[in-house]
């Protein structure tokens, strides 16, 4: 068991997704920071050690691939999960090639919590 509370950063441009996931993760014991701006997310992740980063696919404000590449370039990316609108995952997903550790459906916050807990354990 971890001695400290796990920290997650959620980046998505849909306010309902952000609030729902924040509540679910917080209720599950995960300290959560939310943002809808990938530039802000990059600044946050440079200054705060997150145990996991969740990046949404809700366009047009967020370019998840560019954000993951930037995090990787700066060597600051924590284990990263990609939040999709649906459960389908393309077999040649460029994010997976960048080292994203999992793809979860944003519409199932309890499942997202389970995956986050598994990643940070």
The per-residue pLDDT string of the chain (121 residues; one tens digit each, 9 = 90 and over) reads: 455 788 999 988 888 889 999 999 999 999 999 998 878 888 887 888 888 888 887 655 556 677 777 777 766 666 666 666 555 555 446 666 777 777 788 888 998 899 888 888 8
- Alpha-helical segments (H) within the chain: 15-27, 38-47, 64-74, 94-97, 109-120
Domains and CATH numbers, the chain: 7-120 (3.40.50.2300)
The Cα-based distances of 10 to 39, 40, 49, 57, 114 in angstroms read: 13, 11, 13, 12, 15
How confident is the model at residue 1, as a pLDDT? 46
Strands of the sheet containing 31-35, edge to edge, are 31-35, 7-11, 52-56, 80-84, 102-105
Distance in angstroms (rounded) separating the CA atoms of residues 55 and 67: 9
How confident is the model at residue 21, as a pLDDT? 93
How confident is the model at residue 81, as a pLDDT? 65
The Cα-based distances of 103 to 5, 8, 40, 79, 116 in angstroms read: 23, 15, 22, 12, 11
């Amino acid at each position: 068991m971890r001695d400290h509370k796990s920290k997650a950063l959620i980046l998505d441009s849909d306010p309902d997704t952000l609030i729902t996931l924040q509540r679910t993760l917080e209720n599950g014991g995960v300290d959560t920071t939310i943002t809808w701006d990938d530039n802000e997310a990059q600044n946050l992740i440079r200054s705060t050690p997150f145990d996991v980063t969740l990046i949404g696919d809700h366009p047009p404000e967020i370019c998840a691939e560019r954000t993951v590449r930037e995090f990787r370039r700066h060597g600051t990316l924590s284990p990263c999960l990609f939040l999709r609108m649906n459960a389908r995952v393309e077999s040649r997903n460029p994010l997976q090639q960048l080292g994203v550790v999992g793809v979860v459906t944003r519409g199932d916050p309890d499942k997202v919590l389970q995956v986050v807990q598994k990643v940070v354990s």
